[in-house]
């Protein structure tokens, strides 16, 4: 009998906790967490997300991306939502997020509406989880029951958000696989969750290298994107292009069809179909939207279970932008 568990044992415990939706404090997330405390939370979140996406469909993808970027830094704890102050450094200005993540005003509006109904009950972390699901559904994607009971962090981790914990759009396949594995997510989760790029847009600075320097790209598609994304850094950096060439405001499996045709916008997208171990999954999802939707839901639930704060840990913020 050993006093300390091995690193592999620790990973197994961490991974099993993710699957079960268990936090480090032992409390389970539950689909029924607010049934008695705040049953109106779902209709309140949905109404705000519906209004926001109706006005700007891109916001659906933006909200979903907020959830990804929050969960990948120390778990799904709402830390990404915190603003900088004179004495506090948040994650919003980190390299992976600066001038990139958006949709915070939608979360603010949801929080205000929910607080009016159930003061001090629903966390910002849970609001973000529900809003992400609703954004997917509103844009034509699958529904799932969101596990809830997360609490909000009182801290943020700028360093982690600034040093590659969130995969960069220039990542190669091995980097993507190892990054997701470090968060308890497997290769199937990687490929299925990358399908979120069936909606939304990316900035020129995120795909410039791919359309000018890579060879695993359809030449006509590269030329199309070059029209709005100059080669020179600092010129047109914030010009946008849809991540899904075909249906950028509808959630389905066209993203994978694009990859097979070498029309992935990001280098990291096309890495999923470039003669590597994930080619077969991309082919499968391109041919079967139901399989994609099912695996996407599984991946979202697993990702939502990454290290939630529960029990007495953290807090329920009154304002998602600052600690109480």
Token pair for 40: 């109106």
The reply to whether 119 sits in an annotated binding site is no
The reply to whether 210 sits in an annotated binding site is no
Query: CA dist 262 to 134, 270, 276, Å?
Result: 30, 7, 14
Q: Name every residue whose Cβ is closer than 8 Å to that of residue 61 and which is 6 or more positions away in sequence.
A: 135, 139, 196, 199, 200, 201, 243
The reply to whether 163 sits in an annotated binding site is no
The reply to whether 237 sits in an annotated binding site is no
CA distance linking residue 193 with residue 141, whole number of Å: 12
Concerning whether 69 is annotated as a catalytic residue, the answer is yes
CA distance linking residue 120 with residue 174, whole number of Å: 43
The reply to whether 247 sits in an annotated binding site is yes
The reply to whether 115 sits in an annotated binding site is no
Q: Name the E strands within 141-274.
A: 201-203, 240-242
Token pair for 224: 């199309």
The reply to whether 295 sits in an annotated binding site is no
Q: Please compute, for residue 139, the number of CA atoms within 13 A of its CA located in the half-sphere on the CB side.
A: 31
- Nearest CA-CA partner of 120 in 27, 33, 37: 37
| Residue 293 DSSP symbol | H
The reply to whether 267 sits in an annotated binding site is no
CA distance linking residue 104 with residue 15, whole number of Å: 30
The reply to whether 249 sits in an annotated binding site is no
- Given the residues 27, 69, 183, 210, select the one marked as catalytic: 69
The reply to whether 79 sits in an annotated binding site is yes
Token pair for 179: 């990054």
Which residues are tagged catalytic?
69
Annotated binding site for substrate: 167
Annotated binding site for heme b: 197
Annotated binding site for Ca(2+): 70, 75, 77, 79, 91, 198, 244, 247
Annotated binding site: 70, 75, 77, 79, 91, 167, 197-198, 244, 247
């Amino acid at each position: 009998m050993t006093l300390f568990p091995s690193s592999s044992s620790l990973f197994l415990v961490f991974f099993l906790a993710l699957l079960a939706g268990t936090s480090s404090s032992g409390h389970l997330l539950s689909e029924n967490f607010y049934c008695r405390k705040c049953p109106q939370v779902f209709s309140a979140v949905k109404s705000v997300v519906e209004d926001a996406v109706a006005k700007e469909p891109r916001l659906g993808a933006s909200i979903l991306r907020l959830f990804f970027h929050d969960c990948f830094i120390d778990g799904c704890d709402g830390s990404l939502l915190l603003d900088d102050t004179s004495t506090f450094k948040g994650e919003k200005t980190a390299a992976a997020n600066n001038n990139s993540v958006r949709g915070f005003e939608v979360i603010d509006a949801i929080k205000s509406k929910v607080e009016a109904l159930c003061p001090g009950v629903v966390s910002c972390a849970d609001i973000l989880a529900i809003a992400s699901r609703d954004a997917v559904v509103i844009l034509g994607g699958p529904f799932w029951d969101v596990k809830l009971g997360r609490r909000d962090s009182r801290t943020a981790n700028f360093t982690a958000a600034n040093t590659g914990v969130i995969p960069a759009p220039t990542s190669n396949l091995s980097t993507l696989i190892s990054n997701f594995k470090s968060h308890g997510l497997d290769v199937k989760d990687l490929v299925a969750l990358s399908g979120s790029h069936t909606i939304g847009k990316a900035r020129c600075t995120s795909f410039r290298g791919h359309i000018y320097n890579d060879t695993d790209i359809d030449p006509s598609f590269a030329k199309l994107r070059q029209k709005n994304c100059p080669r020179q850094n600092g010129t047109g950096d914030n010009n946008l292009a849809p991540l899904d060439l075909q249906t950028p405001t509808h959630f389905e499996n066209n993203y994978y069809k694009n990859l097979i045709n070498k029309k992935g916008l990001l280098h990291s997208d096309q890495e999923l179909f470039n003669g590597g171990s994930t080619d077969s999954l991309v082919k499968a999802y391109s041919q079967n939207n139901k399989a994609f939707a099912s695996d996407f839901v599984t991946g979202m639930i697993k990702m939502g279970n990454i290290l939630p704060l529960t029990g007495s840990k953290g807090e329920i913020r009154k304002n998602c932008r600052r600690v109480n």
